[in-house]
Structure 1
Amino acid sequence: MPQLSETSLVLDTLRRFVVEHPQVKRWLVAYSGGLDSSVLLKALRELQLDVEVEAVHVNHGLSDHANAWQDHCQRCCQELGVKLHTQSVEVQRQGRGLEDAAREARYSVFESLMDADTALLLGHHADDQAETLMMRLMRGSGTRGMAGIQASRPLAQGILCRPLLSLEQEQLRQQAQAWQLRWIDDESNDSDAFDRNFLRLAVIPALKQRWPHLAQRAAQTAHWCREADQLVLEVAAEDLARVQPRSERLGASLDWTVWRDLSDYRRGNLLRLWCESQRLDLPERVHLDELSTQFLRQSPDSSGEVCWGNVCIRYFRQRLYCLAADASVSLAELPKPIEGWLGEPMAWGGGEISLQPVAEGGFRLPREGFDVSLREAGERCHPSWRDRSQTLKKLLQESQLEPWLRGIVPCLRERHQLAVVGDLWHCQGWQAEGERGYRLHWQLRRSLS
Structure 2
Amino acid sequence: MALTLPPLPVEGPLLLAYSGGLDSTVLLHALAADPAVRARGLRALHVDHGLHPGSAAWGEACADNGRMLDVPLSIVRVEVRPDGDGPEAAARRARHAAFAQALQPGELLVTAHHRDDQAETVLLRLLRGAGDGLAAMRPLRPFAAGWLWRPLLGLPREALVSYAREHGLHWVEDPSNASDRHDRNFLRHHVLPRLQERWPQADAALARSAALLATQADLLAGEDARRLAQVQGVDPQALSVHLLMAEPPAWRARLLRAWLAGQGLPPLPTDAIGTIERELLAARPDASACFEWSGAVIHRWRDLLHAGPARAPLPADWSAEWTGEAPLALPTGDTLALDPPRRFEAPLRVHARQGGERLVLPGRAHHTELKHALQDLGIPPWERACLPLLSAPDGTLLAAADLLLSAPLADWLARHATRLRWARTVDRAEA
Aligned pair in 2 of structure 1 residues 162, 385: CA closer, same or farther (>3 Å)? same
Larger radius of gyration: 1
Residue 296 (structure 1) aligned to one of 277, 281, 289: 281
Determine helix, strand or coil for the equivalent of 1:176. helix
Alpha-carbon deviation of 1:146? Answer: 0.8
Q: 2:156 matched to 1:174?
A: no
SS of the residue corresponding to residue 38 of structure 1 reads helix
CA separation of 1:338 and 1:44: change in aligned 2, threshold 3 A: closer
In structure 2, the CA distance between the partners of 1:46 and 1:415, relative to structure 1 (3 Å rule), is: closer
Name the CA shift for 1:332/1:266 in 2 (closer, same or farther; >3 Å). farther
Write the letter of the residue equivalent to 1:194: H
- 1:308 maps to what in 2? 293
Output the amino acid matched with 1:140.
G
Conserved in 2, the CA contact under 8 Å of 1:372 and 1:413? no
Report the counterpart of residue 41 of structure 1 in structure 2.
Answer: 28
- Pair 1:17 & 2:7 matched: yes
User: How much has 1:119 moved relative to structure 2?
Assistant: 2.7
Q: Which has the higher contact order (CA 8 A, sep 6+)?
A: 1
Deviation string 1:380-433 (CA, Å, 9 cap, x unpaired) is: 556555676565545554554323344546254463444555556566788859
**TM-aligned CA deviation for residue 127 of structure 1:** 0.9
After TM superposition, give the deviation of residue 202 of structure 1 in Å. 1.3
> Structure 1 residue 307: deviation in Å?
1.3
Tell me the amino acid that sits aligned with residue 117 of structure 2: D
Residues 102/349 of structure 1: CA separation in 2 closer, same or farther (3 Å cut): closer
Rate the CA distance shift 1:180–1:391 in 2: closer, same or farther, 3 A.
closer
Q: Within 5 A, what are the aligned runs for 1:273-422?
A: 273-297=258-282, 299-325=284-310, 327=311, 329=312, 331-334=313-316, 336-339=318-321, 341=323, 345-347=327-329, 350=332, 351-354=334-337, 367-368=345-346, 370-374=348-352, 378=356, 383=361, 391-407=369-385, 408=387, 410-413=389-392, 415-418=394-397, 420=399
Q: Secondary structure at the match of 2:138?
A: coil
Displacement after TM superposition at 1:222 (Å): 0.7
SS at match of 1:192: coil
CA contact (8 A) 1:232 1:269 kept: no
Between 1:403-412 and 1:126-135, the stretch displaced more is 403-412
Distance 2:378 2:56 in 1: 62
Per-residue CA distance 1:279-323 (angstroms, 9 max, x = gap): 222223432222222233473343322211112222222222223
Which deviations, in whole Å up to 9, do the C-alpha atoms of 1:328-360 show, x marking residues without a partner? Answer: x1x152374455755864345743445679xxx
Aligned position for 1:196:
184
Task: Note closer, same or farther for the CA distance 1:187–1:343 as it changes in structure 2 (3 Å cut).
Answer: closer
Maintained 8 Å contact 1:335/1:349: no
1:220 aligns to 2:202 (yes or no) = no
Please tell me whether the aligned partners of residues 314 and 388 of structure 2 are also in contact (alpha carbons under 8 angstroms).
no
Are 2:235 and 1:269 aligned?
no
Q: Distance in 1 between matches of 2:265 and 2:293?
A: 10
User: How far, CA to CA, are the matches of 1:184 and 1:309 in structure 2?
Assistant: 35
Q: Cα distance, 1:216 vs. partner?
A: 1.8
List runs of 5+ in structure 1 lacking aligned partners: 1-7, 358-364
Give 1:153's match in structure 2, choosing from 110, 129, 141: 141
Assess, with a 3 A threshold, how the Cα gap between structure 1 residues 246 and 267 changes in structure 2: closer, same or farther: same
Give the TM-score, by structure 1 length: 0.79
Q: Flag structure 2 segments of 5+ consecutive residues without an equivalent.
A: none
Query: In the alignment, is the contact (CA less than 8 A) between 2:119 and 2:207 conserved in 1?
Result: yes
Q: Cα 1:349–1:162, aligned 2, differ >3 Å: closer, same or farther?
A: same
Change (3 A) 1:184 1:386: closer
| Equivalent-residue separation in structure 2 for 1:339 and 1:69 (angstroms) | 53
Question: What secondary structure is seen at the aligned counterpart in 1 of 2:148?
Answer: strand
Aligned-residue offset at 1:134: 0.9
Local SS of the residue matching 2:300: strand
Secondary structure at the counterpart of residue 299 of structure 2: strand
Aligned length: 421
Identical positions, percent? 33
User: Is the Cα–Cα contact under 8 Å of residues 354 and 441 in structure 1 kept in the other structure?
Assistant: yes
**In the TM superposition, what are the counterparts of 1:91-240 in structure 2 within 5 Å?**
91-116=80-105, 118-143=107-132, 145-240=133-228
Amino acid at match of 2:91: A
Deviation of the 1:126 alpha carbon: 0.7
Q: What's the offset of the Cα at 1:232?
A: 3.0
Alignment check: 8 A CA contact 1:312 1:324 kept: yes
